[in-house]
Amino acid sequence: MTWLERVFALTCDQLPDRSPHLAGVVFPLCFRLAGLYLGVAAAYIVIIASRGWREPLSVRRGIALAVLLLPFLIDGWANTLHFWNTPGPLRAMTGLTAGIALPMLLMSIDAPRTVRGEHPAHRVLWAGGVAFLLVAALLRPSSMAVFDGVAVVAAAGFVALLANLLWAARPAAWNRAVAHEGGRAP
Amino acid sequence: MVCPRCGNSNPDIAQFCGKCGGALVAQTPPPIPGPPVPGVSSEMRIIMIIATVVLPLIGIVMGIVYMNSADPGKKAAGRIWLLVGVGVAIVYCILSGLLSSIAQSS
């Protein structure tokens, strides 16, 4: 998995004491970012499986998703600024909750404006379950194949998140929103 | 119909004036201005974008709230704030490794 190490070296410190490892092999991501991208991958799996990519968010559910970002932000900054030192598995869990929230927030941007649907809460629980299994497979890998497989899933989550962000910010969608905001378009 | 060029009265179905031959244009009432679009003020938009870049959660929460508004202008502004908020949050996540490296080296 040397190629993954090189790809993630641009985005992660990859410190051995802050990263999962198996038999002397260090995972290409630190605990926190591994949890983040595994959460992202789990969220996309559940969104696609439940056909939930066209459902807008209500205020209550949207804010509940935003709250899931808080542990990542607070603990991440606290560790960076040396306020406290969080154990690796807990770091992975803070990344996991943020990873579940980001795709669900991004997907709601392209949801139809006329539909007033409720984003089902159980989708978050399903994504949490899938992500927890992936993180458990990372923390207690049964073999090197599982260890490498989890790295590939994390990389897929990373790529999917970037692709989703670029799609949501594509020029056509951005221009439409800006024109609409100015009251020039219907 | 009155000719706009010479002022001669013509039948309503006439397309040209019977006196001067000028084209007769049907009189249409001026468009009635609609109610003003409440939308979001430009100052609010600038403040929100700056606040979102510093603290992405602000843009995410405000974006969700405004996206659920009935006003199309507010809805569109909410979409932009949510997009910028999530985008900045992702960029911060990606750069977190870089920030950690800088903090470690210092």
Determine, yes or no, domain membership for A174. Answer: no
Same domain, yes or no, for B5 and B47? no
Residues of B with CB below 8 A from A12's CB?
96-97
- Among A152, A147, A153, A162, smallest CA distance to A131 is for A153
Tell me the pLDDT tens digit for each residue of A89-119. Answer: 899 999 999 999 999 988 888 776 555 555 6
What local confidence, expressed as pLDDT, does residue B70 receive?
A: 82
Query: Across residues A49-76, what is the average pLDDT?
Result: 84
The number of domains in chain A is: 1
The number of domains in chain B is: 2
Residue A180 and residue B95: Cβ atoms within 8 Å? no
Size of interface A-B (CB pairs under 8 A): 111
Q: Kindly indicate the confidence band of residue A55, based on its pLDDT and cuts at 50, 70 and 90.
A: confident
Encode A20-56: b = buried (16+ Cβ within 10 Å), e = exposed: bebeeebbbbbbbbbbbbbbbbbbbbbbeeeebbebb
Determine, yes or no, domain membership for A13. Answer: no
Same domain, yes or no, for B51 and B90? yes
- CA torsion, points A92, A106, B39, B52, in degrees to nearest 10? 30
pTM greater than 0.90: no
Fill in the DSSP letter of residue A21.
Answer: E
- Among B78, B50, B63, smallest CA distance to A180 is for B78
Q: Which domain holds residue B55?
A: 42-105
Nearest Cα of chain B lies from the Cα of A141 at a distance, in angstroms, of: 24
Report the complex ipTM. Answer: 0.78
d(CA B20, CA A186): 43
Quote the percentage of chain A above a pLDDT of 90. Answer: 27
Instruction: Considering only the beta carbons, identify the residue of A69, A102, A181 that sits closest to B76.
Output: A181
Determine, yes or no, domain membership for B35. Answer: no
